[in-house]
Structure 1
Amino acid sequence: MRLRQIFVIGLALSTLGIGVPAWSQDDPRSCDDLMSEDAPAYVVCHWMATPDEAADIARFWLGNDGQNMRDTGPMDGNVVDCTQPGNECPDFDAEGDGEMHDIGTPGVEDSEEGGTPECQTAEPCYTDPYGVSREEAAQAAETPTGQAAKTAAASGMRVWIDTELADDYRAGNLAEAVKKIAAQAVQPGVVGVRFSSKLGYGEAFETADDLDKFVTEASAALRKSAPGKKLAVHTVVPVFGCGTSEECKTEMSEKYPLLAPDRIGGWLTSGLVDQLALDSGHLTAGYTTWQIDAATAQRNQWIQVRARAWDAYAQIATEDAGFTAPGASKLTAEQATKSITDRVAAPLQDDAAETVTLWSRWQNDQGQISRVYGEKWAANATWDQLKKLTTIRPRLATVYDPATPEVDAATDLKHLSEVFGQVYLHTAP
């Protein structure tokens, strides 16, 4: 999986002329050159197959029109013939008559209700496995978020509902808010719900216990109301950027007591969330006091994530608003390529983040709009460079608010789908 991921990323980056780091000259199987010098001794990088070996493997299985693959043949199944003397098989008391029946036809004789579905009408039958009524789902489908979800799904994008339940939790309205969000989550094409952002970073929670209680209760309510949907949160872990600087670790731990790595890791290992997005905004200049630049802080963060094997419990994402600027991005093509290298390629190549969420448009409290693309989708160098990353499009996501469109949802999502394979549709509970 790691070899395939690096190969795909390298293929995409080669379109922009971005070089993939050279392999170590001392050990062809070592990829320690991808890690910073302050990487802990217990963190090592080792290729299971070098690029040359991987190419040989591919040639072996794909050569001669895949003949070697066909020659392997199917493996013999572990089958017991119950009719052979000496073979004993359990006597299952199975229901039914042992015969196949077409869908919609009456079932076994004397079966309850004759086996015919209750609602055979012109419209499909509606089932209610989520605690959301037909009327509630229909109403949600007509909202701007519901319509945007339909449009985004039709364009091939994976859709997440992005909301904030912390305020409702504090106000004692969590159950009501979850029910509204569940009505959006059951829309076709929606794969999950991100129920909080900047979690533990702002002023919403005063104690760690209250923070944990919110995550636990919100997760449980959403699991019940929208079973089968992925759950996500967005936060930061400032201490991760410190590397080996003990002074930095001490100050960050005191400044952000709710964001202890063990606490956040506990949400993953206990199954409360399925995706964790780590914001990268604080990595830009938050560690200059300790002579840690942005690239080093980012490398430190991903080394710590890998060391804790967080990706074994949940999908890890990185979130970045650095491509946007008031009005539109002013980067040249060369600057945009460098920014893609640092903000997109590095997290993926470090093999810690599986997806990268890039904010493409947002509005501050004063009404000023920052964009990656130009106003009304005017072309610019940054957007043109991002559009070249077609090979890793499924790993790229963005946030979109249907209530404040650039033009309209249909136009906006069409343009966004040219770069992003996933979209978080922001909505209020």
Structure 2
Amino acid sequence: MRQRLRQLLVLGIALSFLGIGVPAWSEDDPRSCNDLLSDDTPAYVVCTWMATPEEAADIARFWLDNDGQNMVDSGPQGTIRLDCTDPANTCAVDGDSGGDGEAHDPGDPDVEGAEDGGTPECQNGEQCYTDGSEVSAADKAAAKQSAAGQAATAAPAGTRLWIETELADDYRAGTLDEGVRKVAALAAAQPGVVGVRFTSQLGYNRTFGTAEEIDAFVAAAATALRQVVPGRKLSVHTLAPVLGCGANEACKSEIAKKYPLLDPDRVGAWLTKGYVDQLALDNALLGTEYATWKIDAAEAQRNQSIQIRGRAWDALAQVAVEDSTITSALTAEQATKALTDRVAAPLQEDAAETVTLWTRWQNAQGQVTRAYGEKWAASPAWDQLKKLGSVRARLATVYDPATPEVDLATDLKNLSEVFGQIYLHAA
């Protein structure tokens, strides 16, 4: 039995947002097994037999008839056997199969000169593996008392947590090691942390002047973090405006000139070199940047999705899209359309594994924008977001524990009801 959940789930959500019913598949279809689904199964989930019960019986009879002779006959053909009694053949004997011929206990060094306890060393002497144990108890204690550390402790069980920080400034100031140590202390103090996003708006915020500087930063930061937070995923947030142009050559040429530090080929190289496990692409420009070429936000989103798949970025890393258009100022109808376009569409197009939605932020003038009402009052957008429980694991948000809406426990409880992943901002 096969349930085609992957494609139909998001499609059903998108259409249900718009109040469009999903056409019923015919119950007369001989391959339908919808009758096996429970009565409360959503209409967009269908069941189809890969082999009907009758076909399955025929298949079984084919393999079992005549004492299973067909199964015997289907065995490996042309098996190669090596006769070790033939002087012309050379077979491995004791002592010739590799190793030193000695039994070793778990944890024994596997490279001569390794530290006691089995920590391997690189062949040229420097340590090439760390497990986070070098983080001092004092650093861990300080990390737990920080705003991000307290938020990590207050987060409801089952919420996937990321540390969201900015190491570009540390890199430029020559203090990258110090910044990395702070991240390591947070990750070590909170074993539930699954990853670190170590930079945001990279190449768009003009922190660096050249693409070469950006590449050097990504390489240095990723290498340092791999050493101190082994096993955690690394994420970079940036933009790739050229992707929204699709096949429009005039658009691609002008956008490339306008954003010279956001070359998609360079972004892709971070993935192929293994620096990044998650690539977060901001959708901030979709609604405005392509009007000159009569490309609206929906078309730009489709163009970007096609380019992501065409470049196989989704095969090299987890791709996330990030959006800040879902606000409490939207009406119910506007919120429904925004969620369909900015959440359902990229998931349905299989261009993103997760969608990160900003739910609260403050501009330079101190004005606060929210997806929910003040002090967690209801809003049309928040009401719509609460309906997305079936894709909760694919939804993420960014939370700054230094500026809580009410308090850490209340804020994180409310956020975790909608989002399966939370990026905790660490200053």
TM-score (norm 2): 0.75
Q: Match for 1:6: what amino acid? A: Q
For residues 314-393 of structure 1, the aligned pairs below 5 Å read 314-324=317-327, 329-393=328-392
Contact 1:394-1:421 within 8 A present in 2 as well: yes
- The counterpart of 2:219, out of the listed 211, 216, 219, is 216
Deviations 1:10-53 (A, max 9, x none): 35446545559989xxxxxxxxxxxxxxxxxxxxxxxxxxx999
Contact 1:406-1:412 within 8 A present in 2 as well: yes
Structure 2 residue aligned with 1:313:
316
Structure 2 residue aligned with 1:57:
50
**Alignment size in residue pairs:** 350
Which ranges of structure 2 fall in alignment gaps of 5 or more residues? 25-43, 65-84, 86-90, 107-115, 117-129
User: 2-side partners of 1:283 and 1:250: how far apart?
Assistant: 17
- The counterpart of 1:195, out of the listed 198, 203, 219, is 198
- The counterpart of 1:270, out of the listed 266, 269, 273, is 273
Structure 2 residue aligned with 1:160:
162
User: 2-side partners of 1:20 and 1:302: how far apart?
Assistant: 25
Which ranges of structure 1 fall in alignment gaps of 5 or more residues? 24-50, 72-85, 99-112, 114-126
Q: Match for 1:200: what amino acid? A: G
Contact 1:240-1:301 within 8 A present in 2 as well: yes
**1:300 paired to 2:299:** no
CA positional deviation for 1:365: 1.0
CA positional deviation for 1:151: 1.9
- Distance change (3 Å), C-alpha of 1:158 and 1:164: same
Structure 1 residue aligned with 2:132:
129
The structure number with the bigger radius of gyration is: 2
User: 2-side partners of 1:148 and 1:53: how far apart?
Assistant: 41
Structure 2 residue aligned with 1:102:
none
User: 1-side partners of 2:15 and 2:213: how far apart?
Assistant: 47
Deviations 1:89-113 (A, max 9, x none): 9689563799xxxxxxxxxxxxxx9
CA positional deviation for 1:144: 1.4
Structure 2 residue aligned with 1:285:
288
- The counterpart of 1:250, out of the listed 236, 249, 253, is 253
CA positional deviation for 1:177: 0.7
CA positional deviation for 1:130: 4.4
- Distance change (3 Å), C-alpha of 1:367 and 1:257: same
User: 2-side partners of 1:52 and 1:59: how far apart?
Assistant: 19
CA positional deviation for 1:239: 0.6
For residues 107-118 of structure 1, the aligned pairs below 5 Å read none
Q: Match for 2:243: what amino acid? A: F
Q: Secondary structure at the match of 2:206?
A: coil
CA-atom RMSD in angstroms = 3.2
Q: Match for 2:211: what amino acid? A: A
Which has the higher relative contact order, 1 or 2, with Cα contacts under 8 A spaced 6 or more apart? 1
Structure 2 residue aligned with 1:176:
178
Q: Secondary structure at the match of 2:7?
A: helix
CA positional deviation for 1:334: 2.2
User: 2-side partners of 1:172 and 1:345: how far apart?
Assistant: 42
Contact 1:402-1:425 within 8 A present in 2 as well: yes
User: 2-side partners of 1:20 and 1:396: how far apart?
Assistant: 24
Q: Match for 1:266: what amino acid? A: A
Structure 2 residue aligned with 1:95:
103
Q: Secondary structure at the match of 1:196?
A: coil
Contact 2:236-2:276 within 8 A present in 1 as well: yes
User: 1-side partners of 2:167 and 2:253: how far apart?
Assistant: 31
Structure 1 residue aligned with 2:141:
138
- Distance change (3 Å), C-alpha of 1:131 and 1:21: farther
Contact 2:5-2:45 within 8 A present in 1 as well: no
Q: Secondary structure at the match of 1:283?
A: coil
User: 1-side partners of 2:51 and 2:192: how far apart?
Assistant: 35
**Identical aligned pairs, as a percentage?**
58
Q: Match for 1:392: what amino acid? A: V
Structure 1 residue aligned with 2:9:
8
Contact 2:371-2:382 within 8 A present in 1 as well: yes
Contact 1:231-1:275 within 8 A present in 2 as well: yes
